[in-house]
Amino acid sequence: MLCLQRAEAMADGLPYPAPPPPTDPRLPLSPLQVFKLKKSWKGIKRSIELTGVEMFVRMFRSEPYLKEMFKEFRNLVTDDEMRENVALEKHATMVMNLLDEAINNIDNVDLLLDLLHRVGKNHLRFEGFDVSYFWLAEKPLLEAIKITLGDRYTENMDIIYKLVIRFLLTEITKACRNDVS
């Protein structure tokens, strides 16, 4: 299908504008999906703390034993206690800022992979951490993004976020499994 800009250029007898260059083959997203992701992520960026806290509340609700790894949150029981805890908000924001940096660099794949592999490797030094835990963040993260975006979380954005989060987690866990140098 022709994009509007190209169709208009044809009607005016002008040369076609060049289509966007393809994305890096290591990235599971098309140029249009990258464009939509960056645009949508601005909505997350504006509520980054709330989104991060919602993700952690949901993750700790479904997997309460994960709290044990965090000495500052291990005694929090209810969702309200978690939502009001400053240390939890601080940590959740740090995780979200890392994801923000990843999405900002989504089309610079060498830099992106380096960042994700470093994060993965760093987690190996946390006592009691297991690489499988990363995947426990997938569903809560998607749910938190959906809540923050509300109506802006369309079916198309659902496909894009699922693809990108799976990609980020795959790369983060690769480093833990020593699949990268």
The residue ranges that bind ligand HEM (CB under 6 A) are 66, 69-70, 94-95, 98-99, 119, 122-123, 126, 129, 133-134, 136-137
CB of 67 to ligand HEM, least distance (A): 8
**Cβ atoms of residues 176 and 121 within 8 Å:** yes
Q: Which is nearer to ligand HEM, 6 or 174 (CB)?
A: 174
Smallest separation, CB 70 to ligand HEM (Å): 6
Question: In the bound complex, what is the minimum distance in angstroms from residue 164's beta carbon to ligand HEM?
Answer: 11
Nearer residue to ligand HEM within complex by CB, 8 or 81 = 81
C-alpha angle 81-146-133 in degrees, rounded to nearest 5: 65
Closer to ligand HEM by Cβ: residue 63 or 81: 63
Q: Give the Å distances, CA to CA, from 142 to 105, 128, 157.
A: 20, 25, 11
CA dihedral sign, ordered 40, 42, 47, 48: positive
57 in Cβ contact with 83 (< 8 Å): yes
- Nearer Cβ to ligand HEM, position 36 or 166? 166
